[in-house]
């Protein structure tokens, strides 16, 4: 089976660091956590960074920092893994689904503007599949209305806008280090921000709500333990150093796919000339008349792992039945996109042959 992705790290890459960590006896809050935090700030250009257990806990913590509560409205990009809406629901707030562009797969300024009300307390812009196209205009709309912007950059570490890395192009930015991401710790995430007030609140929240007063620990608010341990940070440091090279290799892989698939009628996810898309996932819309689900099954039978692009959150059973806000473009993309394998030693000849055979059988 040719898998969707393989991690870019091997055990021997971190063997020395793991031995040092175990021998030190410090498995958390040690030098590798500090070093990864420093390197993430350096890479993204953000003033502050906070390693976390996942992008989901990162998003949830951001909503807590912003004081999102019962019946507040949070506008969310609809074409995304449901974690983006789940965290809003988890705060007992109301997710308001914004439709997306059929080209970039991202929330548009027009969709955002039409959904802002006096109850809108935050916006979650998802960099769909790592693509940050449109983030600047979304941020400007948010600033005009005085609404904080959370960037769900779970897939977007390594992407850039006008040369600026994702991580400092919103009020709060959240990353993921899940195994399908370009750098992984098995699980993990991070928050970055340039806002000193948010950073101070994050430090408090991520220390169980405690602070030291006259040498005594005081719990001045409620907080969490969403910290990332030493072993995982050591993994991430090794990969972060080579991230830009990984991005270029994946862009080259997407170009190869375009050469194979565009003559067959497939359309690649698009972005503007000022955008560097890290190609966290290589996703195409299938040709008109193609049975996308049949294509996925046929490719699996031929030993090629693929999956849908991602989800229309508003069309999932829970959100469909509770809010009945299904967004047209996001739903169409869920039904018509396919994610393809992408890693260095992938057998391209086998993949191309399988794609041509499966397309012929499902068109």
Confidence of residue 96 (pLDDT cuts 50, 70, 90): very high
As annotated, the residues of the chain forming the CATH 3.90.1150.10 domain(s) are: 243-362
pTM for this one?
0.96
- Span 202-238, pLDDT tens digits: 999 999 999 888 889 999 999 999 999 999 999 999 9
Dihedrals phi, psi of 271, to nearest 5 degrees: -155, 160
Please, what's the b/e burial string for 228-259 (b: 16 or more CB within 10 A of its CB; e: otherwise)? Answer: bbbbbbbbbbebbeebeebbebbeebbeebee
pLDDT exceeds cutoff 90 at 15: yes
* Each residue's pLDDT tens digit, 100-135: 999 999 999 999 999 999 999 999 999 999 999 999
pLDDT tops 80 at residue 362: no
pLDDT above 90 for 286? yes
Q: What is the CATH number of domain 11-240?
A: 3.40.640.10
Confidence of residue 337 (pLDDT cuts 50, 70, 90): very high
CATH second-level architecture of 243-362? Alpha-Beta Complex (3.90)
What is the pLDDT, as a whole number, of residue 242?
Answer: 94
- The residues of the chain that CATH labels 3.40.640.10 are 11-240
pLDDT value of position 212? 87
pLDDT for residue 301 is more than 90: yes
Average pLDDT of the residues of the chain: 96
Q: How confident is the model at residue 363 (pLDDT cuts 50, 70, 90)?
A: confident
Which of the four pLDDT bands, split at 50, 70 and 90, describes residue 326?
A: very high
Count of H-run helices and E-run strands, the chain: 13, 16
Q: What is the pLDDT of residues 152-187, one digit of tens each?
A: 999 999 999 999 999 999 999 999 999 999 999 999
Distance CA 28, CA 46 (A): 23
Give residue-wise pLDDT tens across range 242-256: 999 999 999 999 999
Which pLDDT does position 214 carry in this prediction? 86
């Amino acid at each position: 089976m040719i898998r969707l992705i393989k991690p870019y790290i091997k055990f021997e890459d971190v063997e020395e660091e793991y031995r040092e960590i175990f021998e030190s006896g410090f498995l958390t809050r040690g030098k590798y956590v500090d070093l990864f935090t420093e390197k993430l700030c350096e890479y993204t250009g953000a003033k502050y960074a906070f390693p976390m257990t996942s992008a989901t806990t990162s998003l949830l913590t951001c909503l807590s920092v912003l004081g999102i509560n019962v019946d507040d409205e949070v506008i969310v990009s609809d074409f995304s893994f449901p974690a983006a809406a789940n965290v809003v629901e988890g705060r007992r707030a109301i997710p308001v689904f914004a439709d997306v562009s059929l080209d970039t797969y991202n929330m548009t300024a027009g969709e955002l503007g039409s959904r802002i009300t006096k109850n809108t307390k935050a916006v979650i812009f998802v960099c769909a599949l790592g693509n940050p196209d449109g983030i600047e205009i979304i941020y400007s709309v948010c600033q005009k209305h005085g609404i904080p912007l959370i960037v769900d950059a779970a897939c977007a570490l390594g992407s850039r806008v006008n040369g600026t890395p994702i991580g400092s192009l919103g009020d709060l930015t959240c990353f993921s280090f899940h195994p399908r991401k370009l750098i992984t710790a098995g699980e993990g995430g991070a928050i970055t921000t340039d806002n000193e007030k948010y950073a101070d609140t994050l430090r408090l929240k991520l220390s169980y709500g405690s602070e030291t007063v006259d040498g005594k620990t005081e719990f001045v608010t409620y907080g969490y333990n969403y910290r990332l341990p030493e072993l995982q940070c050591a993994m991430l440091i090794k990969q972060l150093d080579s991230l830009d090279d990984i991005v270029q290799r994946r862009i080259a892989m997407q170009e190869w796919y375009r050469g194979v698939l565009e003559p067959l009628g497939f359309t690649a996810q698009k972005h503007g000339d000022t955008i560097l898309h890290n190609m966290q996932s290589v996703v195409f819309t299938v040709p008109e008349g193609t049975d996308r689900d049949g294509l996925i099954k046929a490719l699996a039978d031929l030993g090629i792992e693929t999956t849908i692009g991602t989800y229309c959150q508003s069309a999932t059973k829970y959100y469909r039945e509770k809010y009945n806000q299904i967004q047209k473009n996001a739903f169409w993309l869920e039904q018509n996109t396919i994610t393809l394998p992408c890693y260095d030693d992938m057998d391209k000849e086998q993949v191309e042959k399988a794609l041509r055979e499966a397309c012929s059988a499902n068109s």
